[in-house]
Amino acid sequence: MKGVILILLCMLVASCRMRPVSSGLEETLSQAGSNRDELFRVLAHYEKEGDSLKLRAAQFLLENMAGKAYATGRVVDEYCAFMDSVFRTGHKSEEELPSIYEQYEKQARYLKEEPVLALDARTLTADYLIRNIDEAFAVWDRPWNRHLSFNEFCEWILPYRVSGEVPEEWRALYRERFEPLLQSDSIRTARQACTVINNELIKYSICIPEKSVLPVTLPAHLLMNIKFGLCGDYANLAMFAMRAAGIPVGIEIVPFWGRGNGRHTFNVVYDSDSTFHDFSGAEQNPDEHLIRFRHEMPKVYRETFGKQPSSLAMQCGDEDIPDFFKNPCLEDVTGNYPFIEARDITVPVEGHSDRKFAYLCVYHPTQWIPVAWGRRQGDSVRFQNVCPNIVYHPALYADGKLQLTGHPFLLDTLGYVNVLAPQADTVNCVLSTLYKDAPKLIKLLPSFVGGKIQGANRPDFSDAVTYYTFTEQPTFKYTTVDCRNTKPCKYLRYLSSDCGTGNMADLEFYAEGSDVPLKGKVIGHYKPSLQFFDSGAEAMFDSNPITFFHTADTLSWGGLELEKPTAVSRIRFIIRSENNGIRKGSEYELFYMDKDKWVSLGRQIATEDDRLEYKGVPKNALFRWIDHTKDNSKRIFIIENKKEVWY
pLDDT digits (tens, 9 = 90+) for 448-504: 999 999 999 999 999 999 999 999 999 999 999 999 998 999 999 999 999 999 999
Residue 405's H or E segment, with its range, is none
Residue 93 has a pLDDT of: 80
Q: Is the pLDDT of residue 15 over 70?
A: no
Average pLDDT over residues 95-101: 86
Residue 50 has a pLDDT of: 96
Residue 350 included in any domain: yes
Q: Which range of residues forms the domain containing residue 377?
A: 338-419
Instruction: Say whether 351 sits in a helix, a strand or coil.
Output: coil
Asked if residue 462 and residue 546 are part of one domain, the reply reads yes
Q: Is the pLDDT of residue 13 over 50?
A: no
DSSP secondary structure letter of residue 424: S
Q: Is the pLDDT of residue 18 over 50?
A: no
Averaged pLDDT score across all residues of the chain:
95
* Total domains in the fold of the chain: 3
Average pLDDT over residues 254-265: 96
Asked if residue 508 and residue 396 are part of one domain, the reply reads no
Give the whole-angstrom CA distance, residue 148 versus residue 155. 10
Give the whole-angstrom CA distance, residue 57 versus residue 52. 9
Asked if residue 498 and residue 594 are part of one domain, the reply reads no
Out of 575, 604, 633, a domain closes at 575
Q: In CATH, what number is assigned to the domain containing residue 639?
A: 2.60.40
Average pLDDT over residues 560-566: 98
Give the whole-angstrom CA distance, residue 336 versus residue 557. 50
Average pLDDT over residues 135-160: 98
Asked if residue 514 and residue 459 are part of one domain, the reply reads yes
Residue 559 included in any domain: yes
Out of 533, 557, 575, a domain closes at 575
Please enumerate in sequence order all residues whose Cβ is within 8 A of that of 4, keeping only pairs 6 or more positions apart, or say none.
none
Neighbours of 274 (CB within 10 A): 9
Asked if residue 636 and residue 571 are part of one domain, the reply reads no
Q: Is the pLDDT of residue 588 over 80?
A: yes
Residue 363 included in any domain: yes
Residue 513 included in any domain: yes
Neighbours of 526 (CB within 10 A): 20
Asked if residue 546 and residue 448 are part of one domain, the reply reads yes
Residue 502 included in any domain: yes
Asked if residue 551 and residue 495 are part of one domain, the reply reads yes
Residue 641 included in any domain: yes
Asked if residue 591 and residue 504 are part of one domain, the reply reads no
Residue 355 binned pLDDT confidence (cut-offs 50, 70, 90): very high
Residue 39 binned pLDDT confidence (cut-offs 50, 70, 90): very high
| φ/ψ of residue 111, rounded to 5 | -60, -30
Residue 439 has a pLDDT of: 85
Asked if residue 627 and residue 567 are part of one domain, the reply reads no
Residue 440 binned pLDDT confidence (cut-offs 50, 70, 90): confident
Which position has the higher pLDDT, 4 or 370? 370
Asked if residue 527 and residue 469 are part of one domain, the reply reads yes
pLDDT per position as a tens digit, 318-354: 999 999 999 999 999 999 999 999 999 999 999 999 9
Share of the chain above pLDDT 90, in %: 90
Instruction: Say whether 155 sits in a helix, a strand or coil.
Output: helix
Residue 314 included in any domain: no
Asked if residue 484 and residue 395 are part of one domain, the reply reads no
Asked if residue 568 and residue 537 are part of one domain, the reply reads yes
Q: Is the pLDDT of residue 17 over 50?
A: no
Residue 101 included in any domain: no
* Alpha helix (H) residue ranges in 253-372: none
Out of 575, 608, 624, a domain closes at 575
Which strands sit side by side in the sheet containing 549-550, from one edge to the other?
479-482, 568-575, 502-511, 549-550
- Reported residue count of the chain is 647
